[in-house]
Amino acid sequence: MKVCVVGAGAIGGFIGTRLAISGHDVSAFARGATLAALRKHGWRLRQGGKLRGAPARASDRSAELGAHDLVVIAVKGQSLPDVAPHIRPLLEPHTLVLPAMNGVPWWFGRGVPALEGTPLSSVDPGGVVSNAIPFEQVIGCVVHASTWTSEPGLVEHKMGDKLIVGEPAGGESDRVNELGATLEQAGFQIERSTDVRRDIWYKLWGNMTMNPVSAITGATSDQVLADPLVVAFCSAAMREASAVGTQIGCTIDQQPEDRHVITRKLGSFKPSMLQDVEAGRTLELDAIVSVVREIAQRVGVATPSIDALLGITRLFARTRGLYRAD
């Protein structure tokens, strides 16, 4: 299979390296230090103390890379509107597009009566992403893996290698089964979902509070969960997100307290948004929090706790140059 990874960071590099090692032709659309590292070293992944690698063809000009069978999008949500026009040259009518990204994707409102017809401006301003990437070619994806880059182009794998894949419109399909088999051969644990939209919302429901709270406080996950007042605030926001999910066909069957138990079992860790603050990177706030508020407004659900979380985190990020000025 001919594969292109758009955004060869922690997750993109993880997926790209494993696919390359398993024998696929994997290129990368990358820029800056990551592009230079890929050109010099190729794909690199360290897991279990062992460094593995494979050759990589990388460019910052997508037209040079040509069309592919699979395009994996692993950029941060805030970068996708700028990157989306560069994805178009990578696509043919048969190409599958797999967004391996955090939060709510740009296509999420398709098929939802309350959201249909108008792009979600938080993640698709002006419809630039949906205009560049045909919805019919998208396969939904949820990533459950802990990875980071210790230097540009070098991915460190801590734990987890599960990918949930499914048709955005729901149900089963041959193309999901075939893609799942390809990813399984590359060493991933694959779950083929018949309702990937709900799976996306469920992961978001768990990450929506922990990520920004850790970012603005500098606290690790266990420290957040050890403060009863903070946990109560997070639980209130999660209940609001659950109510929003009910209105769009993404019902959450758990209570916030159930999710906190699961998170505690993961031990102490730095959520990705805190890692971004420490590295001076812009925050993935819109795809994780802003879009929940936008959807809530469209379906008529009040979200005072989510509003407060968004406002405080956005102000925190703006004062540090980690969120766009507009």
User: What is the set of active-site residues?
Assistant: 203
How far apart CA 34 and CA 146 sit, in angstroms, is 19
Structure tokens, 103: 């939060």
Strands 25-29 and 57-59: parallel
From the list 172, 245, 213, 236, the residue with the least C-alpha distance to 310 is 213
Reading the block at residue 35, the tokens are: 């592009």
Q: How many CB atoms lie within 10 A of CB 79?
A: 15
The type of residue at 35 is: L
Listed in sequence order, the residues at least 6 apart from 227 whose beta carbon sits closer than 8 Å to its beta carbon are none
**What single-letter amino acid sits at 190?**
I
- In sequence order, the 6+-apart residues with CB closer than 8 A to the CB of 287 are 76, 77, 78, 101, 102, 103, 104, 105, 122, 123
- Two tokens, residue 310: 């968004």
CA-CA distance, 182 to 25, in Å (whole number)? Answer: 13
CA distance 22 to 19: 5
Question: β-strand 154-166 against 2-6: which pairing, if any?
Answer: unpaired
